[in-house]
Copies of this chain bind each other. A is one copy, B any other.
Amino acid sequence: MVQTARERAREALTADIVETARGQLAEVGAAALSLRAVARELGLASSAVYRYVPSRDDLLTRLLVAGYASLGAAAEDADDPGLAPRGRWVAVSRGVRAWALAHPHEWALLYGSPVPGYAAPQDTVVAAMRSAGVFGRVLGDAARSGGLVGRTPDADRTPLVGPDVGPVLGGEHPALDDDVRARAVLAWSSTLGLVSAELFGHLVGVTTDQDAFFTEQVGRLADLVGLMG
């Protein structure tokens, strides 16, 4: 895999563009992200940027994938396999919130209103699964170690969670029935809601201590899933 000097320069400049765009994103948000401003910051003509990035939407896609990867890495770092299942879940949740507070505009890009007229390519949905996978591993490990309270599943109920979430949500285990997975999806969606509500200002005046409030609430969600510890 040998590269010519041109190819190396091209990749380096493309990376510079994406990195500058991330800086712009952090400053002014996704909606105000301007290709011309990125070009100005790099000392390029606006038209030159189009040699490396085909469109503004494509640049957004790159930022989206990078954002999911960054969030997923933060979730993985926050995970501590030595903790009890409930504590692990809370720790990962806190890691997600901490990342969101540190990168509010990126969180808004990932989980806020989708950009109109922009359809997320398949690359982004696989990238999005990385953070969910961390919760899934906590769930799977808990099931295997007996740290998940059992329920009596209703066998005759049609499953409401698709079969594709099995691999990402804890793998195969008899204790991970449809009910547990549905609760896990609820807990993940609720965490999204908690973080977004806090970040988008829907909790101002509601909570007295945002950090303690969040920790207590994700603890309740872990209980809802059935994690012990």
A171 within 8 A of B: no
A16 within 8 A of B: no
Q: Which A149-170 residues have C-beta < 8 A from chain B?
A: 158-162, 164-165
CA distance A112 to B213 in the complex (A): 22
Chain B residues with CB under 8 A of A162 = 205-208
Q: Which of A2-10, A81-89, A91-99, A113-121 contacts B (4 or more CB under 8 A)?
A: A113-121
Of all chain B residues, which has the CB nearest A210?
Answer: B160
Q: Which of A35-43, A45-53, A193-201 contacts B (4 or more CB under 8 A)?
A: A193-201
Known: A164-B205, A196-B111. Is A32-B189 also a contact (CB below 8 A)? Answer: no
- Measured between C-beta atoms, what is the minimum distance from A100 to chain B in Å? 12
Partner of A160, one of B201, B202, B208: B208
Instruction: Let me know if A191 and B192 touch, CB within 8 A.
Output: no
Partner of A194, one of B165, B189, B213: B189
A148 within 8 A of B: no
Partner of A109, one of B113, B161, B205: B113
A73 within 8 A of B: no
CA distance A113 to B159 in the complex (A): 32
Instruction: Let me know if A161 and B114 touch, CB within 8 A.
Output: no
CA distance A217 to B182 in the complex (A): 8
Instruction: Let me know if A116 and B28 touch, CB within 8 A.
Output: yes
A185 within 8 A of B: yes
Instruction: Let me know if A202 and B192 touch, CB within 8 A.
Output: yes
A220 within 8 A of B: yes
What are 27 A-B interface contacts by the 8 Å CB criterion? A28-B117, A29-B116, A32-B116, A108-B114, A109-B113, A111-B200, A112-B113, A113-B113, A114-B201, A120-B201, A158-B209, A160-B209, A160-B212, A162-B205, A164-B206, A183-B220, A185-B207, A186-B194, A186-B217, A186-B220, A189-B190, A189-B193, A189-B202, A189-B217, A192-B197, A193-B194, A224-B224
10 new A-B contacts, CB < 8 A, other than A128-B202, A182-B217, A189-B202, are: A29-B113, A108-B114, A109-B113, A161-B206, A161-B207, A165-B205, A183-B220, A186-B194, A190-B190, A193-B197
